[in-house]
A and B are shown apart, each in its own frame.
Chain A
Amino acid sequence: MKPLKLSTIILLLITTFSCTKNVDFDQVDAVEITPSYLITLVYFELYAPDFLDSVNTEVPLQLDIVKAPLKDVPQKHLEKVEFTIQTTNVFNRNFNAQIVFFDVNQNPIYELDPIVIPANSNELITIIEIPTEDLHYIFETEFFAFFLELRPSDDGSVILPGDDSYVEFKSSVELFLRYKTI
């Protein structure tokens, strides 16, 4: 067989058998990637003396402030924010906890649903979700304030310095993202 003829046959075979099966690159428009990220959040453990002032008078409301530059969170792709809160309350009195978000002008712009921490409750899990329509408040937040209120007792009793009761608060947030091509 002459070499030219043979090489022609080989090239013909290659071009004859080289083909493509149906692919549809437009499917990329339907790609959705949905990772979620856990971030550890605030925690504390407060004992009875923490609710007393210097003359042992009960101070039922505790407040702390955390600057929160949340503008770095990928806003466009954030679909849901879910807080997980675990509380333990050894006091025989209820607590109310609430997180309020403030903007740069120190105006309150959003409040998470208040959390009731029942008296004598052990490792209670509460999940709070920020609805999609409220997510924009996250990005307008400059700082958030954490309020913890010791509710009055039914019998009017107050806590004493020697009381060894405590309230424990642990939390995390899960950010649900959804990346779409269009």
Chain B
Amino acid sequence: MRTFILIIIVLFSLKSFAQNKQVLYNFAGLPQTLMLNPGAEVENKFYIGFPLFSQVSLHGGFSGFSAYDVFADDGIDINTKIDDVVNKFGKSEFFELTQQLEVISAGFGLNKTTYVSFGYYQESNALVKTPRDLIDLAYEGNTDVNRNYAISKLTARAELLGVYHVGISKKITDKWQVGGRFKLYSGVLNASSKGNKGALVTNKGVDNLYQQELENVDVLIQTSGIVLDDYDNVEPSDYIKKLFFSGNYGVGVDLGFTYHFKKQWTLSGSAQDIGFIYYTKDVESYTVKGDFKVDGFNLGFDLENPEDYWNDLKDRFEEDVVVDTLNTNYISTRPMKLNGAIDYSFGKEYDDCRFETRPGKYSNKVGVQLFSAVGSVHSYVAATLFYERWFSKHFQAKVSYTADAYSFSNLGAGISTQFGPFNLYLLADNLLYLNNLYNTKSTSIQVGINFIFYNK
């Protein structure tokens, strides 16, 4: 119990707005920017990502509170602090973990205008959106008479998948660069519950003190690869194999562009993961539908014809609230991500003789980025201001300041270093919480190594 509560609180204490890689977007011409915008401009001749380490990306957290809010060693009783965080809980908060690992990543310039990139990455993510009503129901109980404890905002998603991809970025005019990426998904595990309806309510009764009702409950939980006939013979290697060939396949595309609409001004945008996975393997889904009211046991005091109150109640419940198990295949749409940015470049570098060291290039870039995750389970929007600086061909940096519905103080930073073909980049956000990591409500990091070869 102790470990369970500790894990729950710590997990729920991380806060993240996952999948928004605001520091990486369009940064330093890194090959990985093509994964966010297939129409991004990259200038290398070819690159190869370090196998298994060209991009390691982690996000995780909870939008409710931080570990410090609960575990601060401040002499205040922990139950008082839990009361505080529960009282501050919004109408719904979400917990999310996302992890991506690029296994293979490579790209090359097909000609002067066309760049091809391809690879394979593994992704796992989980998101649970918990309504305040259910937290109150668990934490306080149901004694708030006439209150609807609604489950309508209860949604969840968890998946493990592998993604094969190939993309092309093409310069079509001096101003326009467009790109697309085709993805083949191999879904290993999936569970999702969305569009749930219904409520639990205790009303003042007429026949009895209270009437309790499960009101128009309609819950659907879909799973694939989770409920198995035999767990004993399942090995981790089975999941690794399924990451490549699971039998649950889907397709998707990323689309993007870069448009230099004015000298020094650039507009770019992309849509990622417009696609779906069709789950057919080890599929098991559950539905709960119905409406049930109970006033209690109405005693008849007729022992000659005794009533079986309890079993009658159970029978009526099972008749009114239908719990069903289905094994039908289903489609799970991928959470789509939208990126957009407008930036202004300025400041040229000159050598001692006042010649431009990088003809036509600027060393500074400021701009605004917008990000939106559009999913059937959860959607949100984020806005970012950024400044990017090209210090030298060996070193570039970017700082970002992001605001979204949950935080207005997310400071991010990234560096990219290049020595010969060796490229190392490190990006992270929520740096304002570095002075107390336990107070961090958002954690996001991307790190990777590439071997990038440029034209001389």
A-to-B contact residues, CB < 8 Å: 1, 3-4, 6-7, 10, 14, 17-25, 27-33, 35-44, 46, 50, 62-69, 84, 86, 146, 148, 169-172, 174, 177, 179-182
Interface residue from A14, A21, A32 paired with B438 (Cβ < 8 Å)? A21
Q: Does A40 lie within 8 Å of B141, measured CB to CB?
A: no
- What is the CA–CA distance of A20 and B446 in the complex, to the nearest angstrom? 22
- B303 on the interface (CB 8 Å rule)? yes
Return chain A residues, CB-CB under 8 Å to B302: 64
Return chain A residues, CB-CB under 8 Å to B308: 67
- B73 on the interface (CB 8 Å rule)? yes
Contact residues of B between 258 and 305, Cβ < 8 Å to A: 294-303
Besides A31-B79, A46-B301, 18 other CB < 8 A contacts? A4-B395, A10-B413, A21-B68, A21-B72, A21-B435, A22-B72, A24-B73, A33-B82, A33-B138, A35-B137, A35-B138, A35-B140, A35-B141, A38-B202, A40-B211, A40-B294, A41-B296, A67-B309
Return chain B residues, CB-CB under 8 Å to A23: 67-68, 71-73, 438
Interface residue from A41, A68, A170, A171 paired with B310 (Cβ < 8 Å)? A68
Q: Does A31 lie within 8 Å of B5, measured CB to CB?
A: yes
Instruction: Decide: A66 near B297, CB < 8 A? Known: A19-B436, A170-B208, A170-B209.
Output: yes
- What is the CA–CA distance of A53 and B141 in the complex, to the nearest angstrom? 45
Return chain B residues, CB-CB under 8 Å to A22: 72-73
Residue of A nearest to B437 (CB): A20
Q: Does B141 lie within 8 Å of A37, measured CB to CB?
A: yes
Q: Least Cβ distance of B409 to chain A in Å?
A: 16
Most A C-beta atoms less than 10 A away, residue of B211, B298, B434: B434
The 8 A-B residue pairs with the shortest CB-CB distance in the complex, in nearest-first order: A3-B395, A35-B141, A43-B208, A22-B73, A3-B394, A18-B434, A40-B296, A24-B73
Return chain B residues, CB-CB under 8 Å to A84: 209
Return chain A residues, CB-CB under 8 Å to B395: 3-4, 6-7
- What is the CA–CA distance of A82 and B22 in the complex, to the nearest angstrom? 55
Q: Does A20 lie within 8 Å of B438, measured CB to CB?
A: yes
Q: Does B212 lie within 8 Å of A39, measured CB to CB?
A: yes
Return chain A residues, CB-CB under 8 Å to B456: none
Interface residue from B71, B137, B296, B438 paired with A42 (Cβ < 8 Å)? B296
Q: Least Cβ distance of B420 to chain A in Å?
A: 13
Instruction: Decide: A182 near B296, CB < 8 A? Known: A21-B436, A172-B210, A174-B143.
Output: no
A-B contact pairs, 30 of them (CB 8 A): A1-B391, A6-B395, A10-B415, A14-B431, A14-B434, A20-B437, A22-B72, A23-B72, A24-B71, A24-B72, A28-B78, A31-B78, A31-B82, A32-B79, A33-B82, A37-B143, A38-B202, A40-B205, A40-B211, A40-B296, A42-B296, A50-B301, A63-B303, A64-B299, A66-B299, A66-B309, A68-B310, A84-B209, A146-B299, A181-B1
